[in-house]
Amino acid sequence: MVGGEKSAGPHVRKPGPDSWLDRFGQFLARRLESESSGYQPYTPSDPETLSRTLQPGDIILVEGNQRVSAAIKYLTQSTWSHAALYVGDMLPEPEDGSERPRLIEVVLGKGCIAVPLSKYRTYNTRICRAVGLTPEDRKTVVNYMIDRLGLRYDMRNIFDLMRYFLPTPPVPVRWRRRMIALGSGDPTRAICSSLIAQAFQSVAYPILPEIVQVKGHATAESVYSREEILHIRHHSLFTPRDFDLSPYFEIVKPTLVFGFDYKLLRWAEKEKQEAADAKGEA
């Protein structure tokens, strides 16, 4: 892997026999996945434009409104709390005639599932695209996720789940991201973007590899940032923010892809002024 970035292999596992711990863990997971009130998207993408823009292998980052989303956004100091992989038309049409699932994601308590693109039509989203990914590797990444559909995460690590009920834990800024790795288990791996990261690691595509200082080239000035990246990578706990920060993923904005002319924008203030001017002339 580039820069010493290693894949720790799939962290998913099938749950053991049903127990009170498992049932209680599933209960906590459902509570964490419940939606918070008052969420209002700032600039959600037009669904049709978003669909035309996406390519198989693209990552969609989501600003979630679940209870767990607040904790993830706080701990990672990021807008993004969730990630899903776009697989295009690789999955079959549902027999009931419903919308074809085109996204694969990992959801706390449900595991690896496929969902339609419309699930996030009212959310703030961002597209991250691996640059220069070959068609063969793109197919491998997509199939990696498809092959893991139905896999579930063990929810019996109650202490791992409980931390996410404190959306703003009283810890210093420099320790917030590291709190995710502390004592982490399957629930945290489900919350984070580990499976998507492993899909790209399977084709040796870098996300946040080890930073190597090369003489004559600019390097990151923040020692804390370098240590943080190494720490998170070591535990195979990738967060949605990591794809946004990665220098190897392009940020694709649907509004700009098919042509954008700011001169065509209609501003309310301008139209109001023009109407007033026209009335004055009359």
Give just the sign of the alpha carbon dihedral 42, 237, 166, 31: positive
Return the pLDDT at 160.
67
Q: Which amino acid is at 4?
A: G
Return the pLDDT at 212.
62
Structural domain for 125, as ranges: 2-281
- Are 201 and 5 within 8 A, CB to CB? yes
Tell me which residue of 126, 231, 120, 253 sits closest to 182, measured CA to CA: 231
The rounded radius of gyration (Å) of the Cα atoms in the chain is 21
Return the pLDDT at 60.
97
Consecutive 10-residue runs of the chain (282 residues): their mean pLDDT?
44 53 76 69 76 96 83 82 95 94 91 94 94 98 96 68 68 68 67 88 89 59 67 71 95 88 83 69 66
Return the pLDDT at 109.
79
- Are 46 and 185 within 8 A, CB to CB? no
How many CA atoms within 13 Å lie on the side-chain side of 258?
Answer: 10
Return the pLDDT at 25.
76
Find the CATH number of the domain harbouring 52.
3.90.1720.10
Instruction: Give the separation between CA 244 and CA 240, rounded to whole angstroms.
Output: 7
Tell me which residue of 57, 108, 62 sits closest to 86, measured CA to CA: 57
Chain centroid to Cα 24, Å, comes to 26
Number of domains, the chain:
1
- Sequential DSSP letters for the chain: -GGG------------S--HHHHHHHHHHHHHHSBPTT---SSPPPHHHHHHH--TT-EEEE---BHHHHHHHHHHTSS--EEEEE-TT-SPPPTTS-PPEEEEEEETTTEEEEEEGGGGTTS-EEEEEETT--HHHHHHHHHHHHTTTT-------HHHHHGGG-SS-S--HHHHHHHHHTT--HHHHHHTTHHHHHHHHTTT--SSPPP---TTS-----HHHHHHHHHHHHTT---HHHHHH-TTEEEE-HHHHT---GGG---HHHHHHHHHHHHHH-
Return the pLDDT at 9.
44
**Structural tokens at position 247:** 């220098």
